[in-house]
Structure 1
């Protein structure tokens, strides 16, 4: 029963941290809507979270938190990437052409994978959430319970990303109209632009 309780605790906390409007989720939502490379991208996101959670539960959080240079590099790189993708989203929103569910413009698998990895690992908050926060809270558990806690948090990531990626197609009728894609890309552009600004402000104010 203690293992189940620890696992549920990890699942609840992990789920609460990833269910938010962010760059990674917006990217998976859009890929799910166009039904492009959904399984691969969802698996990459979930597996990346699982690896970071395992690292945090294993004690990597202390190392990361003690390296301000590493945090600064990731923050600046993340801000630049988010700003670029924000501009791309606004550019798509301006172009009215053929943005219909199932057959919009997409990107090759390699480009999609690289973008997915960038959204994941160039986001400083992913380290704060998975490595530092989840990792530090795992100290409340010992032995098998700690493993169950980490597994629960990792499972939450798999459930969320695959649910988001494949559940997005339920919105396909709405996105049969080009106007809906314009709205989505404007929202994505705003979210990523604001995140980029937030990272820069955080860096300039020393975190």
Structure 2
């Protein structure tokens, strides 16, 4: 059991660490929201979406994404469009910490955007299916669920930690310059991911 848990922990940490649209969005909301509590919707949404993907992968349900070509194409197309749009909104935002005029996402927007970058990102889904789902086949019974629980725990701890790091960065930035730079970097990352996804969709 401990081997399965350790395997799930290390594997999930390796998958979640790379900088992507989901991580950037969680960090930014932690930095932009006036209190840590106000950024909880984005953390919960991202963590719950990851939990759902992990459970579906371990159960084998999400393998349908790999076998239905038209479904995968639609997923890519929607993901590209949404990331282009979200990158535009992020690039345009002009936070100003001193004046309290930062452009912040409402709880509803946080939930919608976090769910979108989590569930409309084909690479995140394919990574979950291809890596976590495939790795879980090594185990059965309690070991399989221990493996899945470890993967899920990493997601929850990571997103809370990422939001807290964003909050600390936001408090250190009294002029709003750091947040403006982060928004520009975030927008570029989202556009880059969208273009890469578009290229994958066309070449596949």
If the length of structure 1 is used for normalisation, what is the TM-score? 0.90
Superposed, which structure 2 residues align to 1:52-201 within 5 Å?
52-92=53-93, 95=94, 99-100=96-97, 103=100, 104-201=102-199
Q: Give unpaired runs (5+ residues) of structure 2.
A: none
Q: Give unpaired runs (5+ residues) of structure 1.
A: none
Q: Which aligned runs of 4 or more in structure 1 are off by greater than 4 angstroms?
A: none
Distance 1:178 1:76 in 2: 34
Task: Kindly provide the CA deviation profile for residues 152-203 of structure 1, in whole angstroms up to 9, marking residues without a partner as x.
Answer: 1011100100111123222134422222122111101110010110011001
* Cα 1:170/1:54, change in 2 over 3 Å: same
CA contact (8 A) 2:32 2:179 kept: no
Aligned to 2:40: 39
* Cα 1:114/1:187, change in 2 over 3 Å: same
Aligned length: 200
Distance 1:102 1:34 in 2: 13
Distance 1:130 1:196 in 2: 19
* Cα 1:133/1:164, change in 2 over 3 Å: same
Aligned to 1:10: 8
Aligned-residue RMSD, C-alpha: 1.7
CA contact (8 A) 1:61 1:136 kept: no
If the length of structure 2 is used for normalisation, what is the TM-score? 0.91
